[in-house]
Structure 1
Amino acid sequence: MMPDWIHVALRTLLAIFILFMMTKLMGKRQVSQLSFFEYITGITVGSIAAYISLDIEENWYLGIVSLSVWAAVSLGFEFLQLKSKKAREIIDSKATVLIKDGKILEDNLKKERLSTDELMEQLRKKNVFQAANVQFAVMEPSGDINVLLTKENQPLTPKHLGIKVGPEQEPQVVVMDGEIMDEPLAKMGLNREWLDTELETIGVAIENVFLGQVDAYGQLYVDLFDDQIKVPEPQKKASLLATLKKCEADLEMFSLSTKAPKAKKMYEECAKELERVIEEVKPLLIR
């Protein structure tokens, strides 16, 4: 006869494996953002798993049957939600508008059982301190509140100025825990020789680097294992490239803002010439 503690240990491992497989099957949403039904499913499944692990007097396999039924029902609900908008509204409910054109909708607040203090707290989390500055505030089925500011209170972007901005390359981690990551280096068009040169320039050995990142301009930033060691400031070449790009954007903005034909033509020609110069010197500034 197997001792009880070994029996419990084996059944606990089995429950962990089953829970892991169920979570993978149900998808990441089951972990990151639970709906009302998924919340109930999570609690129930956890209780059943505990039953499988500890209740050695009963037929433990019945717990696995129950887990399977819960998983099947949960997957069935998710399938319905994917296929039917009506099912989504019934299961997860609909989004509720809490503020419209700067006006708080008190009836909708009561419907969602949300106090004014709680609403203002959620707005402050979005860096909004005046309800009058809000065009729309919507409570999603998940309980999150999303906010759209009025146009005059939205941050200024290049799009507002009519400036087109090119896509920026994602920074890549090229060193992690003292180990060189060859694939991210290749994505940036770089190699180990370049990395060795950059580390030698700042006087750091690869084994002392906890994390190394390369930004869109090809500039290397490092964080060392020893926080007491001060790393030299990054080189100025990335700053120079950024300044050149800013000058180009300023010239384009000037050409768009002026109404004088001669000035507009001059600014456009200067912007194109500076763009050509940037393309020529860019390989030197990102290496």
Structure 2
Amino acid sequence: MPDVFQVAIRTSLAVVVLFTITKLLGKRQVSQLSLFEYITGITLGNLVAYISMDLQTKWYLGIVGLMVWSLFSLGIEFLQLKSKKMRDFLDSKATVLIKDGKVLEDNLKKERLTTDELMEQLRKKMAFRIADVEFAIMEPSGDINVLLKRENQPITAKHLGIKVGPEQEPQAVIMDGKIMDEPLATMGLSRQWLNMELEKKGVAIENVFLGQVDTYGLLYLDLFDDQIKVPFPQEKESAFVLLKKCEADLMSFELATKDEKAKAMYKQCVDRMAKIIEETRPYLYR
């Protein structure tokens, strides 16, 4: 058999085997690989090159090497899942770099991290001053996570005592001008509803690059033609304004009437409307 065909067949076989092994070993980003997983990746690549190009040796020996490395890697991952000591040995432990606002110089030296590198990583976490950092730790993956001092942390709705509605994952219901039926069903919606929403906005389905529905059932559209402006959904704001208008009308009725029974009834309605507004505010007001 000509060498060209041998290389082609060996390479195809090696790709199939490597793909299968990769699926078995799982998927991680390069920055999340442990030291052993990094070495395994390099070794598997070398073995695949050996299988593909070394025509003077028996190809199946390379396959055996791939299988042994793969089984060994699976065994190591199993031990890591079962044993904290194995995880610490293979991945190492996290290292505290800043504690109580103080830089731990000895730990910086241990991780061979310079002050400039530390400052670079802090800036990536939007911490431009060490004085703003309460705690920083280097993870086994090499990432540095930062906890800002309480006075420097962003204010959230919880800090203000505001209850907000739960958020669900937005679903892409239109991609490249095509309706995606599965995400629509996930949101409990239908094609008829989608077509009606598109008609209200005056947009044809084939002109939509991407359409998303959020947890409140509002449709957001991005068109192929960026010059066309699609109105932003205002249903929640309109509903909130309508409730506030009803509350104001009831207050005016209460003030206008001289009948004590009617005044008491309107007062009761105002209180009930205020309670409704307070309960729905997290869902309607942005």
So what's the TM-score if we normalise by structure 2?
0.82
Is contact 1:96-1:140 (8 Å) kept?
A: yes
Which residue pairs with 2:250 in the alignment? Answer: none
Structure 1 residues 4 and 269: alpha-carbon distance in aligned structure 2, compared to 1, 3 A threshold: same
Which residue pairs with 2:277 in the alignment? Answer: 274
Is contact 2:31-2:141 (8 Å) kept?
A: no
1:24 paired to 2:23: yes
Is contact 1:214-1:220 (8 Å) kept?
A: yes
Deviation of residue 104 (structure 1)?
0.4
Identity of aligned residues (%): 67
Which residue type is aligned with residue 214 of structure 2?
Answer: D
* Partner Cα distance (2:241, 2:119) in 1: 40
Is contact 2:220-2:233 (8 Å) kept?
A: no
Write out per-residue CA displacement over residues 215-237 of structure 1, whole angstroms, 9 at most, x where no aligned residue: 2232222222333x413222421
* Partner Cα distance (2:240, 2:22) in 1: 45
Structure 1 residues 241 and 41: alpha-carbon distance in aligned structure 2, compared to 1, 3 A threshold: farther
Which residue pairs with 1:224 in the alignment? Answer: 223
Which residue pairs with 1:146 in the alignment? Answer: 145
Write out per-residue CA displacement over residues 61-111 of structure 1, whole angstroms, 9 at most, x where no aligned residue: 111111111111111111111111111111111000000011100000000
The 4+ residue runs of structure 1 with deviation greater than 6 A are: 242-245, 267-270, 276-279
- The correspondence for 2:234, drawn from 233, 236, 239, is 236
Which residue pairs with 1:127 in the alignment? Answer: 126
* Partner Cα distance (1:207, 1:170) in 2: 25
Structure 1 residues 21 and 244: alpha-carbon distance in aligned structure 2, compared to 1, 3 A threshold: farther
Alignment of 1:18-97 (within 5 A): 18-29=17-28, 33-97=32-96
Is contact 1:138-1:146 (8 Å) kept?
A: yes
CA RMSD of aligned residues (A): 2.7
Which residue pairs with 2:196 in the alignment? Answer: 197
Which residue pairs with 1:258 in the alignment? Answer: none
Is contact 1:101-1:132 (8 Å) kept?
A: no
Deviation of residue 269 (structure 1)?
6.4
* Partner Cα distance (1:230, 1:45) in 2: 51
Is contact 1:176-1:211 (8 Å) kept?
A: yes
Which residue type is aligned with residue 121 of structure 1?
Answer: E
Is contact 1:244-1:278 (8 Å) kept?
A: no
Q: Specify every segment of 5 or more residues in structure 1 that has no aligned partner in the other structure, as ranges.
A: 246-266, 283-287
Deviation of residue 278 (structure 1)?
7.1
Q: Specify every segment of 5 or more residues in structure 2 that has no aligned partner in the other structure, as ranges.
A: 244-269
Deviation of residue 179 (structure 1)?
1.3
